[in-house]
Chains A and B, each alone.
Chain A
Amino acid sequence: MGATVGTQPGGGPAAAAAVAVRGVRKAFGGRVALDGVSLSVRAGEVYGLLGPNGAGKTTLVRMMVGLVAPDAGTVSVLGAEMPDLAVLGRIGYMTQQAALYADLSVEENVRFFAAINGAESGVEDALRAVALDERRRSVVSTLSGGMRQRCSLACALVHRPRLLLLDEPTVGIDPELRVQFWQHFRDLAADGVSLVVCSHVMDEAERCDRLGLIRAGRLLAEGSARELTERAGVQRLEDAFLRLSADDGGDTGGAQP
């Protein structure tokens, strides 16, 4: 995994993978959520977890922060096997819903998560990064959905994490803001931060360095958007996803044991 990395932004020689998932299985009750998933996220890259709703993306991300224990397999993050309390301080996690304290202001929310992570000095930068420094005194319950997403991102960024896990960060936000978000993700990656972005939107996937296509708890393929379309022999990523799904066991979801 680490050996295949060509250039390392940040310069560490043969740095370990930011995230290494090995043979992970998870069932909730009788329903299999993840079925033998292995993947790795390199340091300083934007890795897209691409798949339909219910494919297992959120479960996989929650495993990376130690909130879900795998039935089998291991998850290592920044060199430590999860769960690991110390490593959590170097991870930023943005949940699918904008999980914020609705009765606090923007700044109070960001300051709270900064204090929890012992990183009060990052508040100003985080507010500026999401362009909310003008609205810092607004109470979250009065904000629009897009502003809440921005505030949520600021809370995930405030302690300058080395790994950022973003679960559908651009759902429900307008195109202009989405472009800003992605610009920001690219800037972070250029600074050596590794990002895992869950999405079911194909055009977002093209902005990732590498993708993991996930469907019904199985990793169908891993690679850059170009590699994946070439392998499937199609032009568009959407078609590649459908082709690879069909190869894996059909469109009807019959792949489950």
Chain B
Amino acid sequence: MSTRRTLAITRRLLQGFRRDPRTLGLLFGVPIVLLALLGYILRSGNSGPPTGVVNQDCGPLGGQVAAVLLRSTLIDARDMSRADADAGVDDGSLAGYVRLPCDFTAQAQVGRIQPVVRLEGSLPSSSAAVLQATQQGLAAVFAPRNIVLAPQVSYAHGGPQYDQLDYFGPAFVGLIVFFLVFVVTSVSFLRERAQGTLERLMATPVRRGEIVLGYMLGFSIVALAQSALVLLFSLYTLRVHSQGNVALVFLVEGLLAIAAVNLGIFLSMFARTEFQAVQFIPLVIVPQFLLSGIVFPVNTEPRVLHDISNLLPLTYAVYGLRDVMIRGDGLGAGGLGLDLAVVAVFAATMVLAASLTLRRRVA
């Protein structure tokens, strides 16, 4: 055991870092940025699921319950009409609503109150929050009196049998494919550069677009096979519920995989080594993981982050996958068409960007 040799290795490593500001930036800058982002989402954004309060009570008690609900910290409640509330549950912008019917005060006098709770149902934890807030609101007003509380609960999608995996499954199916395809493509394209074959290829009549499309086709075949496997495993082994057409789920996943292939090619243009290519993972994948609604629903994020989330392609893929698998949407539903279009446009933009950054000449 020689101290001198050991220290020589240590010194050699540190010398290398000094000449690689990107790695230093990654080691010291990225954790701060990512933790700040996570803190911001969890501390400022945790406003609870958006919930409607529809007070139709002809007597005074409905107003009291509504007031308690609007103050609740479990949910982000707003007063609204029944029509707006139904629309909100339909398009997924509300986690649910609580309706206090016209005879609410009359029910209380009989001793059995039955507010109507309508839940969107795709995220179990949001549904639970709405139910809990409702219980608390009723208890706050009626606790002193001897009354039976019997909310009439119904689900627009899913239902009590849906668990967390049904919510996270579709999003993770997308994330896993996006992540792995991106890494494999970027490292592989970089190898083409490092082993000198790209230089050799550039000295032939091949066109840049031909290289990018050739890569895209090759990796897309592998990526689509992977997507199919991931999907089949989720549906038939993990038994993740799927309401919609499996072919549509595969379509969203396939487009996402093609987008990831081209993102990988595009970003590998900015890396000189495989090491640097791997560094794009925390920069590209982690923020998308936090902001694309995979774990934290976009509509519970702070306002500022909404706009960022709405720029990320993965957000739309996640929406699309959930729309099909949980809500059972078809192509006719407005949301899914937009989701597919955004992912497709992103994939096409990346093909173009990759071709443009692949330079033949050193100026």
Contacts and interface: CB of A to CB of B under 8 A. Distances in A.
A95 B360 contact: no
Q: Which of B205, B361, B362 has the most CB of A within 10 A?
A: B205
Interface string A77-98: 0000001011011010101011
Nearest to A155: B200
Contact of A67 (B195, B205, B207, B360): B360
A102 B194 CA distance: 12
B200 A95 contact: yes
Nearest to B359: A67
Contacts of A155: 200
For the residues of B in contact with A, the DSSP-based class is: loop
A155 B197 CA distance: 11
Contacts of B360: 66-67, 83
Contacts of B199: 67, 95, 99
Nearest to A159: B204
B207 A88 contact: no
Contact of B203 (A91, A97, A100): A91
Contacts, number: 55
Contacts of A97: 195-196
Contacts of A93: 200, 203
A117 B195 contact: no
Interface in A84-131: 85-86, 88-89, 91, 93, 95, 97-102, 113, 116-117
Given A99-B195, A101-B195, A85 B207 contact: yes
A137 B103 CA distance: 85
B197 A99 contact: yes
B361 A66 contact: yes
Contacts of B200: 93, 95, 99, 113, 155
Given A85-B207, A99-B200, A68 B195 contact: no
Contact of A116 (B196, B201, B361, B363): B201
B202 interface: yes
A234 to B, nearest CB: 37
A100 B204 contact: no
A93 B204 CA distance: 9
B136 to A, nearest CB: 62
A116 B195 contact: no
B206 interface: yes
Q: Which of B197, B203, B361, B362 has the most CB of A within 10 A?
A: B203
Nearest to B207: A85
A86 B207 CA distance: 11
Contacts of A102: 195
Nearest to B200: A99
A225 interface: no
A71 to B, nearest CB: 9
A98 B199 CA distance: 11
Contacts of A98: 196
B361 A86 contact: no
A65 interface: yes
Interface of A: 62, 65-69, 83, 85-86, 88-89, 91, 93, 95, 97-102, 113, 116-117, 155
10 contacts: A67-B199, A67-B361, A68-B362, A89-B204, A91-B203, A93-B203, A97-B195, A100-B197, A101-B195, A116-B205
Q: Which 9 A-B pairs rank lowest in CB-CB distance, beginning with the nearest?
A: A99-B196, A65-B203, A93-B203, A89-B205, A99-B200, A88-B205, A99-B197, A68-B362, A116-B204
Given A101-B197, A116-B201, 12 more contacts: A65-B203, A66-B361, A67-B199, A67-B203, A69-B362, A85-B207, A91-B203, A95-B196, A97-B195, A98-B196, A116-B204, A117-B205
